[in-house]
Structure 1
Amino acid sequence: MKKVLVIEDHAMMRRNVLVILEMEGYQVASASNGREGLALVSTEQPDLILCDVMMPELDGHAVLRALRASPLTASVPFIFLTAKGEKIDQRTGMNLGADDYLTKPITRNDLVAALDARFARKEQQRVNFDRLFVDPEPLLVLGITMREAEVLLWIVQGKGNNEIGGILGVSTQTVKKHVCAILDTLGVDNRSSASIRAMEVLVSGHS
């Protein structure tokens, strides 16, 4: 079940949104201001955040800026809530990484459609990311052998030498030799740097 965090300082609006979400089968959490909302993100770990723009203590832009600055929350879908007639610079929000804007008062259809769209996009991104790790062949452009490409593909996924050996059916010592050859060919000093080079190739090949 997906969890949605609602950060909204207007009590009635917050309650209305929560009721709609609960009726649609979402788990919900709520905060009455930006500072409280940020604190809840780490404990509730929401799948999506709905956030008012103009709030006391910490406004929506500051909340989004803080979330996008952390690797743990940088990719959480984020939708701004704005009151009709508010002079909000949507470009600022989008540049900060907002996924969408919804104008209050929010209808049930608009809210459900926005969440469905965001979650569908998130799922497609996950599927695309998973596909990056299916085929080692794109890594051959780095000048390594096919076996080294297979090893590097598992290194990118955080596997250790013992695990890679078990997966590929070779000894740990053989894996170590492949790793050394990979680092030497790529001109890097460690597995993390090799992983970064590999990800650059994998992502560019699927963009």
Structure 2
Amino acid sequence: MHFKKLAIPEVVLITPKVFGDERGFFMETFRQNEFEQHCGNYSFVQDNHSKSTHGILRGLHYQLEKPQGKLVRVTRGEVFDVAVDLRENSPTFGQWVSAMLSEENKQLLWVPPGFAHAFYVTSDEAEFQYKCTDYYNPGDEYCIRWDDPTLAIDWPLVEGKPPQVSEKDAKGLALREAPVFVKIR
């Protein structure tokens, strides 16, 4: 696997080695010792899998009391994936990084605790899978608006049309109003 630190160095793009022939392909998608070496000493407690159609945007989600690190990948289709630094004392607070994740490039993105996360589906549909470092806690979920002008995320919106978001995500907060991480490892 190849590990590449992005502009916010705690967020890491992982490219697996893919071995293919006429029968198909094989690849490792996770190896604990290499992950710890390049991303930190984290354990995963929950795996999630979602399916969404073209133009759906999920996020920007995070939890404060039980922050989740997420190791994300796309097994069908393509998404524009975004991580926003919400660590108040970080030199990159309020900045974002992104990656196009797809079934073709087979890349994974490590989004550590202390970040909000979102993805936008650019293909007809996408299946999105991710490992979490803590359990989902419905009483501890927060959302920042996908179109917050302070963040100015450059979403690759199809024909410039607003994405389809859930009612909960449509009620997301502006960054300036959102609770953020004061102290995170």
Higher relative contact order (Cα pairs below 8 Å, separated by 6+ residues): 2
TM-score, length-scaled by structure 1: 0.25
TM-score, length-scaled by structure 2: 0.27
Larger Rg: 1
Q: If each structure's strand is expressed as a fraction of its own residues, which one has the higher value?
A: 2
